[in-house]
Amino acid sequence: MTQPRPGGPAMARPMVIAIDGPAGAGKSTVTRALAKRLGMLFLDTGAMYRAATIGVLDAGIDHDDAQAVAGFVRARHIDFTDAGDVRLDGALLARSRLRSPETTAEIWRVADNPACRSHLVALQQALVAGRDAVVEGRDATTVICPDAQLKIYLDASPEERARRRLSEWPGDKPQPSLMEVVSSIRDRDDRDSHREVGALTLTDDAVHLFTDGLALNEVIARIIAYAVQRQPFLLEKLVLDQLIVGRSRQPGYVRVAPGNLPGASDGWQLGLTNPAPDRMPGTTRSLTRNHGGRQAGTLVQGAAILCLAGRGPVPEHVVALPMLPQTWYIIEPESWHAVIQAHGTICAWAESDRIIEERFELSATQISELESFLGVYLPH
């Protein structure tokens, strides 16, 4: 029952989120999950270097001859299936071989070769051209997508990265010690940041995001918050199938009240949108299910509505919608939503009737996700 936005759809140029960072900082896991969450193309550029390396190893050419390696790689086509598996000249490559330590040890033959890099960069740019995409690599922010709207440098301490590497070490391979992995990570960092072309670089316009101690969903919520800051229409576009976005034709429809709730001592609180005009939103971390009327959400510092959305028996995810002048977001009957009451902010809600409330406790994961989002979106 999605209604078109009055005045036509919001047009925005494709959004590119470029993510660089050292090996083992969690880039693959984070970017894959982020792209899925945002419904964007995921481009794993490291997989393309891995695929080219496997091609070189199997081709029977002299690996030490940089010109022969370049000639071979520049004649290859590398792309991905819809399921995200990498293909070398149309042939699928097994994930286990792609990420094997043997492949990793030889990647430098391709990655340090400028002629190979320029070919792979051209393929990567063609894959993302005109599309919303999350691009992951070492040179995503600098060479592949220098104009990306959002650049993230995902980082973690060498020890944390070594622990993560060991936790996914193949069971059939002898495990090195933590210190051995730390030392090989430092070597790889050195190589990645000192190559002549396409070196890993933290640029001034990138967000330096340290992931030590953060759960995956917290990292993702932070990146989404940065993305929304840069392109406010992003989330609106993504949740259009869940929320009806409308413009109020009745100026008196929404009441505005101070957001200082009795007993609200935390920096932020979840509140229920409340249909009754004489009641303030509740202060509990729970949701209400709207079976009838129309409700507006809470304004977050006058900038956004943050809500949980979804149509199923439980809410699925957190969304934030920018609060644009003269625009009210009307939540679809029977969809789930909770709104954020940030301490000291203004809240607004619509008068309505025929509301039945069902209460629903938020999970710890959902709460940490909201806190992560707010930590970026509403810095104190």
Q: Which is nearer to ligand DC, 31 or 335 (CB)?
A: 31
Residue 137 near ligand DC by CB under 6 A: yes
Rounded Cα–Cα distance for residues 289 and 275 (Å): 11
Using CB under 6 A as the binding rule, whether residue 23 contacts ligand DC is answered as: yes
Q: Which two tokens stand for residue 251?
A: 């100026």
Strands (E), the chain: 16-20, 41-44, 78-80, 86-88, 91-92, 133-137, 150-155, 207-210, 244-246, 254-258, 268-271, 286-289, 304-309, 317-322, 328-330, 336-337, 339-342, 346-350, 360-361
**Quick one: 195 or 337, whose CB is closer to ligand DC?**
195
CB of 137 to ligand DC, least distance (A): 3
- For ligand DC, the binding residues in 30-69 under the rule CB under 6 A are 45-46, 49-50
Nearer to ligand DC, 6 or 146 (CB): 146
Considering CB under 6 A, how many residues would be counted as binding ligand DC?
13
| Shortest Cβ 138–ligand DC spacing (Å) | 4
Candidates 22, 76, 132, 139: give the one binding ligand DC (CB under 6 A): 139
Sheet with 304-309, strands from edge to edge, namely 268-271, 339-342, 304-309, 317-322
304 Rama sector, left if φ>0, alpha if ψ -120 to 50, beta otherwise: beta
The Cα–Cα gap between 133 and 35 comes to 7
Q: Which of 188, 337 has the CB closer to ligand DC?
A: 188
Which CB sits closer to ligand DC, 45 or 290? 45
Residue 80 vs 233, nearer CB to ligand DC: 80
**Tokens describing residue 102:** 């043997």
Closer residue to ligand DC (CB): 46 or 282: 46
Write down the least CB distance from residue 113 to ligand DC, Å.
10
SS3 content of the chain, % helix, strand, coil (to 5): 35, 20, 45
In the complex with ligand DC, which residue's Cβ is closer, 29 or 283? Answer: 29
SS (H, E, C) 167-217: HCCCCCCCCCCHHHHHHHHHHHHHHHHHCCCCCCCCCCCCEEEECCCCCHH
Which residue, 113 or 366, is less far from ligand DC as judged by CB? Answer: 113
d(CA 220, CA 86): 24
**Under rule CB under 6 A, which residues in 93-132 are in contact with ligand DC?**
107, 111
Between 184 and 290, CB nearer to ligand DC: 184
Which parts of 174-233 interact with ligand DC (CB under 6 A)? 188, 192, 198
Q: Taking contact as CB under 6 A, which single stretch among the options 135-143, 169-177, 292-300, 326-334 is the one that binds ligand DC?
A: 135-143
Could you tell me the smallest distance in angstroms from the CB atom of residue 33 to ligand DC? 15
Q: What distance in Å separates the CA atoms of residue 301 and residue 296, rounded to the nearest whole number?
A: 15
**Contact pick of 138, 151, 161, 317 for ligand DC (by CB under 6 A):** 138
- As measured in angstroms, the least distance from the Cβ of 29 to ligand DC is 11
Interface characters, 240-279, with ligand DC (x: CB under 6 A): ----------------------------------------
Residue nearest to ligand DC (CB): 46
Q: Specify the stretch interacting with ligand DC by CB under 6 A; choose among 65-73, 136-144, 237-245, 356-364.
A: 136-144
CA angle 11-17-19, nearest 5°? 175
Burial of 25 from C-beta contacts in 10 A (0-12 / 13-18 / 19+): buried
- Written as six digits, the tokens of 221 are 């919520």
Residue 153 makes contact with ligand DC by CB under 6 A: no
| Cβ atoms 196, 11 nearer than 8 A | no
- CA–CA gap between residue 290 and residue 354 (Å, rounded): 9
Least distance in Å: CB of 139 to ligand DC?
5
| Max Cα distance, the chain (Å) | 80
Write the interaction track for ligand DC spanning residues 315-344; mark x where CB under 6 A is met and - where it is not. Answer: ------------------------------
Binding site for ligand DC (CB under 6 A): 23, 45-46, 49-50, 107, 111, 137-139, 188, 192, 198
